[in-house]
Amino acid sequence: MTGFRAWLHGAWLGTVLALQVGCAAPGTGEPAAAPPLVGGAPAGDGSQVIVVAVQNPMEALPTSAGSTPGLYSRKPQYATGVRAEQLMAEVAQAHRLQPLAAWPIRVLGLHCATLRVPDGVSREAVLAALAQDPRVALAQPLQQFETLAQASSPASPADLPAASATPRQMLATANAYNDPYLPLQRGVLALGVPQAHRCARGDGVRVAVIDTGVDTAHQDLGSAVPDTANFVDHDSTQFRRDRHGTEVAGLIAAQPGNGIGIVGIAPGARLTALKACWELPDGRATCNSFTLSQALAAALDGGAQVINLSLGGPPDGLLARLLRQAIARGVVVVGALPPAGSREGFPLNVHGVIAVQDATADPFGTAALAAPGREVLTLTPGGRYDFASGTSMAASHVSGIAALLLQHQPQLDGPRIEKLLREQAPSATEVNACRVLEAQSPSCHCSTAR
């Protein structure tokens, strides 16, 4: 068990406190079993649930929270202070709210909780009252978000189409590696990734994939995902069965030259898989303010240099605060453009987030970069491969290219990387890994054979 996983079973989960209040079962006098919390809400239903935060000063707190051991074990320990707990209890009682779960966010100096509004009471009215309460630093709805990929059924390698479908010039480039499905990776070839690897592979760059779980045992990931955390549940088996996060991780960090599959864009990167989204029976995956805030805080505490957010939803005050903190620190944050092309929701409404759209879709002006997002070959759970579509995939390509750039110049931030990508785009806003590396690093001549 890695240090990260050991921490997950200890300090962090110890701070996500189940504070459910049971009701008496009719005729028994015994508390009725409360519905299980999913994403900080009873049975995952957040319709009457809000998020409240109070100030949580850092002084003299000897235990950990909001950060991870292993690579994070050198950081100061942090927990909710007694005064912050008292404030939250006072707020809950004063507004007749049922505490559900609570957690501290070190990077914001906040103690947060999900609380349930009583039946028959307007959630909006409660939020309006909380906005006037001087003890409250933040109050908002518990909001839902979804990953931005189109679901399809898994395929085995034998199901994949023949490599002869790939244009001849791309096949010539594919000979740089012995991975049998590289000729089918039209997007990776069009981005000049095999050539870019002559200059950079993203070595040592820390990339946080905030998503569903990831099949960390997939043979084409190797040891690219050494650290994981699960902010949804304790189900490690389901974590490895999750599809969307596996697709994203595969595009970024699948290992080239092993003769078994595909080529990742930044195979030298060090991925942290932070599960904040859970899969639904219809193939979609959903997340909420509770799980995403914990994952973002962990990414920041862990020193992530790139954060991939292949998801979207409504504006969210707490999550926006965390992203602004990340961007202020120079973290590169990459987000997927929703199908309608709007940047009004999270995460793209936060200034400094790199928005990415599908290069094959109708363009939405110059507001977003463009990368492959249609029928992209990547990894799926159980050691399998399949094609995936959606702006989730497009965003993953840009996160991988960001890791390549950061290998050479770790001081680059999101706005500067976006500017470089735009300046070296071969057409409109479509990105190209080789061209941008040559422009950024004078010693890099990736378009020229060795």
The whole-number pLDDT of residue 57 equals 82
Whether the Cβ atoms of residue 289 and residue 51 lie closer than 8 Å to each other: yes
What count of other Cβ atoms lies within 10 Å of the Cβ of residue 45? Answer: 13
Give me the phi and psi of 101, to 5 degrees please: -150, 155
DSSP states of 179-200 as a string? -TTGGG-HHHHHTTHHHHTTT-
The whole-number pLDDT of residue 366 equals 57
The whole-number pLDDT of residue 79 equals 75
Q: What is the CA radius of gyration of the chain?
A: 22
Per-residue pLDDT of the chain (450 residues; tens, 9 = 90+): 444 443 343 333 334 444 433 333 344 455 556 678 889 999 889 999 999 999 998 654 444 434 333 333 334 456 778 999 999 999 999 999 999 999 999 999 999 999 999 999 999 999 999 999 999 999 999 999 999 987 554 444 545 543 334 444 444 455 679 999 999 999 999 999 999 999 999 999 999 999 999 999 999 999 999 999 999 999 999 999 999 999 999 999 999 999 999 999 999 999 999 999 999 988 899 999 999 999 999 999 999 999 999 999 999 999 999 999 999 999 999 999 998 888 899 999 999 999 999 988 776 555 789 999 999 999 999 999 999 999 999 999 999 999 999 999 999 999 999 999 998 877 655 899 999 999 888 788 887 644
* HSE (side-chain half, CA atoms, 13 Å) at 59: 5
The whole-number pLDDT of residue 151 equals 54
CA distances from 173 to 14, 192, 373, 433 (A): 50, 9, 21, 14
The whole-number pLDDT of residue 44 equals 85
Burial 149-167 (b: 16+ CB within 10 A, else e): bbbeeeeeeeebeeeeebe
Domains of the chain as residue ranges with CATH: 3-21+35-142 (no CATH), 157-440 (3.40.50.200)
What count of other Cβ atoms lies within 10 Å of the Cβ of residue 294? Answer: 27
Give me the phi and psi of 104, to 5 degrees please: -95, 150
Distance CA(241)–CA(245), nearest Å, equals 10
Helices (H) and strands (E) in the chain, counts: 14, 20
Closest CA to 149 of 319, 392, 327: 392
Q: Where are the alpha helices (DSSP H) in 302-355?
A: 317-328
Give me the phi and psi of 216, to 5 degrees please: -70, -15
DSSP states of 237-257 as a string? HHHHH-HHHHHHHHHHHPPTT
Helix (H) or strand (E) holding 173: helix 168-174
- Which residue do the tokens 């378009």 mark? 447
Q: Judging by beta carbons within 10 Å of its beta carbon (0-12, 13-18, 19+), is residue 222 exposed, middle or buried?
A: middle
The whole-number pLDDT of residue 430 equals 80
Distance CA(405)–CA(407), nearest Å, equals 5
Whether the Cβ atoms of residue 261 and residue 181 lie closer than 8 Å to each other: yes
The whole-number pLDDT of residue 234 equals 92
Question: Catalytic positions, please?
Answer: 211, 244, 392
The whole-number pLDDT of residue 167 equals 43
Distance CA(220)–CA(43), nearest Å, equals 35
- Which residue do the tokens 């965003």 mark? 395
Residue 73 is encoded by which pair of tokens?
A: 């074990």
Residues contacting 50, CB < 8 A, separation 6+: 97, 114, 115, 117, 123, 126, 127, 130, 139, 140, 141, 142
